[in-house]
Amino acid sequence: MAILGVESAIFGVDDVAQCGKFWTDFGLTAVSLGPEECVFEVMSGSKVVVRRRDDVRLPAAYADKPGVRETIWGVDTAEALEKLVANLAGDRKVRRDADGTAHFFADDGMPLGLRVWNKRSVLSQPDPVNAPGKIQRLNLHRKWRQRAIPKTINHVVFFAKDYVASLEFFINRLGFRYSDHSRGAGAFARADGTNEHHSIFFVSTALPMAPDQPGFMHIAFGLEDIDELMLGVNQMHAKGWKNISTNSSGGLSRHRISSAIYYYFDNPNGGEAEYHADTDYVDDNWVPRVWDWKFGSLLWATHTPSFWRAAKIEWDMQFDQDRASLEPFRGARTKAAKPPESVERLKPEDEHAI
């Protein structure tokens, strides 16, 4: 075990105060609040750091828009950190901070960091679910909550010109595990020291609804169950935060890939922030799968995307432990090239389902 997950997501923004208010309303705990930088954390110890876009501490922009400027991945031991750094330093510049944090760029230009992290254990107690013929909660109502309090950063998502190459950098150089492939749309991987279905998802910039350049898409925070998720949604709406843009307008939904229930908010920090619950948890016994992107994207949604309304969705999933499904998608693709799958039918309002 080495990389435990996202230790810090560092944002570069235009309005630190407004972006900090978003995270406070979202349920993160403020560690420090200032005019130039705000720091928040969740129960596991993962942090969200908000800095001005022109802050000299930020790396060169991965994309010329607000969003995550650097993702710091937490490593379990100093020995594991040094082993990872030694491997990376063989073919790229690695800058070290006084505390040992290593900063570098992935092959696709993504700014990354590695840091020894004492990840805190998280305790969840979701209510048992009753069903006809299966009583698991007798003479006991469900718990009543006051607000949503995210416990973890489950994953980050980035657009990539060559999502296969971006995925393989994380697998070959950082020890990530291949989770699943949404054929023609993107690929999922998890850090070797965590059990969430994926820690990072790379989405192809060749999709019609995607930007032409790589960059940040969204960040997902783990909640205990659907009740906590929807309470958070209600409270965020009451505070004026909505999901009304085309890329966050799906309402409450559940992916078939990863099984997670999710809800996006337009994020003034850049991209979207996601409430995330009831995802699949896996280990090295997991067998990766390749999915038809339409079938894998959704199990259900309150606002179904256009591709669900337009055609019958075929049940299409195969096991892919040798990663053979990735080969046809290797190399940077452009929107001008005809996709191998019918992703050309995707519209901007479909982005939430990918």
What is the per-residue pLDDT for 346? 52
What is the per-residue pLDDT for 6? 98
Number of residues that this document lists for the chain? 354
- Residues in a beta bridge with 153: 221
Question: One digit per residue, pLDDT tens: the chain, 354 residues?
Answer: 699 999 999 999 999 999 999 999 999 999 999 999 999 999 999 999 999 999 999 998 877 778 999 999 999 999 999 999 999 999 999 999 999 999 999 999 999 999 999 999 999 999 999 999 999 999 999 999 999 999 999 999 999 999 999 999 999 999 999 999 999 999 999 999 999 999 999 999 999 888 888 999 999 999 999 999 999 999 999 999 987 765 555 789 999 999 999 999 999 999 999 999 999 999 999 999 999 988 999 899 888 887 777 667 889 999 999 999 999 999 977 765 555 455 455 555 555 555
**Contacts of 165 by beta carbon, 8 Å cutoff, 6+ apart:** 107, 108, 330, 331
Token pair 């190399």 in the structure block, residue: 331
Token pair 């619950």 in the structure block, residue: 277
What is the per-residue pLDDT for 47? 98
| The token pair that represents 91 in the structure block | 């073919």
What is the per-residue pLDDT for 257? 96
| The token pair that represents 42 in the structure block | 């969740």
| Domain coordinates in residue numbering, the chain | 3-120+149-353
Residue 184: its H or E element: none
As a whole number of angstroms, the distance between CA 191 and CA 75 comes to 10
Give me the helices (H) in 203-254, please: 226-238
Q: To the nearest 10°, the Cα dihedral for 9, 13, 15, 16?
A: 30
In degrees, rounded to 5, the angle at the alpha carbon of residue 52 between the alpha carbons of residues 51 and 54 is 125
Q: Are 276 and 224 in contact (CB under 8 A)?
A: no
What is the per-residue pLDDT for 342? 53
As a whole number of angstroms, the distance between CA 349 and CA 335 comes to 17
In degrees, rounded to 5, the angle at the alpha carbon of residue 30 between the alpha carbons of residues 27 and 31 is 145
What is the per-residue pLDDT for 84? 98
Burial environment of residue 97 by CB neighbours within 10 A (0 to 12, 13 to 18, 19 or more): exposed
How many helices and strands in the chain, by DSSP H and E? 6, 19
As a whole number of angstroms, the distance between CA 345 and CA 351 comes to 12
**Contacts of 45 by beta carbon, 8 Å cutoff, 6+ apart:** 7, 117, 118, 119, 120
| Domain at 3-120+149-353, CATH homologous superfamily | 2,3-Dihydroxybiphenyl 1,2-Dioxygenase, domain 1 (3.10.180.10)
